[in-house]
Amino acid sequence: MIEHEELEQLFRGPEGERVERKRNANDLDAIRETISAFANDLANRRRPSVVFIGIENDGTCANLQITDRLLTTLAGLRADGKLTPFPVIRVDQTTIDSCTIAFVAVAATDNPPIKMDNIAYVRVGPTTRRATPAEEQILVEKRRWGNLPFDSHAVPGATIKDLDIKRFETEYLPVLYRVSLIRTRAPIGAVRWT
């Protein structure tokens, strides 16, 4: 989901659309809201975002003891029933710049909105906010676009040279032509294929 180099880069950078810092995990609902916002990916970055636990807002180490119980609690946020549908997350611990932290890496979802207690959240700069009706509509449209059949999506890097023009002309176009005649209810002999 996220490489260690990218994790270090996000750790050293400021809070923003992809980074949240928490001194501890005392406010689990605030962490859930941030997970919801990161998963919804309103900015459409299509990159994982991270909640760092054990670091102050100014970037200094909070010296939080990272225990198995803390990691289990964080992992349980995914499926405890407050976040729906379930987001894709990774929970782990690491040491960066002599600071041992826990982190929750959150994948951007193809099925937004992810809601916490039936409320969608989005990231606005370094803050987590309730989605406005307009923002929630954008999230719903992202879901519709993500649910299109595979052949309706663009293929990054493809060019016209990747098309089999002969096959397109001999197989696809004649079928498309017949279907269009049926839909318009035109008599088959009324239109000539040239």
Return d(Cα 24, Cα 12) in angstroms, integer: 18
Q: What is the DSSP letter of 117?
A: T
List helix spans (H) across 41-149. 68-76, 133-146
Name residues whose C-beta falls within 8 Å of residue 182's C-beta, 6 or more positions apart in sequence: none
Return d(Cα 86, Cα 158) in angstroms, integer: 33
Across the chain, mean pLDDT equals: 90
Total Cβ atoms within 10 A of residue 130: 14
Q: Which residue has the higher pLDDT, 50 or 155?
A: 50
pLDDT tens digits for range 17-54: 999 999 999 999 999 999 999 999 999 999 999 999 99
Total Cβ atoms within 10 A of residue 137: 12
The residue extents of the domains of the chain are 4-150, 154-190
Q: Answer yes or no: are the C-beta atoms of 89 and 107 closer than 8 Å.
A: yes
Q: What is the pTM of this model?
A: 0.76
Return d(Cα 93, Cα 75) in angstroms, integer: 12
Tokens standing for 101?
């932290």
Return d(Cα 1, Cα 49) in angstroms, integer: 10
Residue 62 burial by CB count (10 A; 0-12/13-18/19+): exposed, middle or buried?
middle
In CATH, which superfamily holds the domain spanning 4-150?
A: Schlafen, AAA domain (3.30.950.30)
Three-state DSSP class for residue 120: strand
Which of 1-15, 124-138, 174-188 shows the lowest mean pLDDT across its residues?
A: 174-188
pLDDT tens digits for range 44-66: 999 999 999 999 999 999 999 99
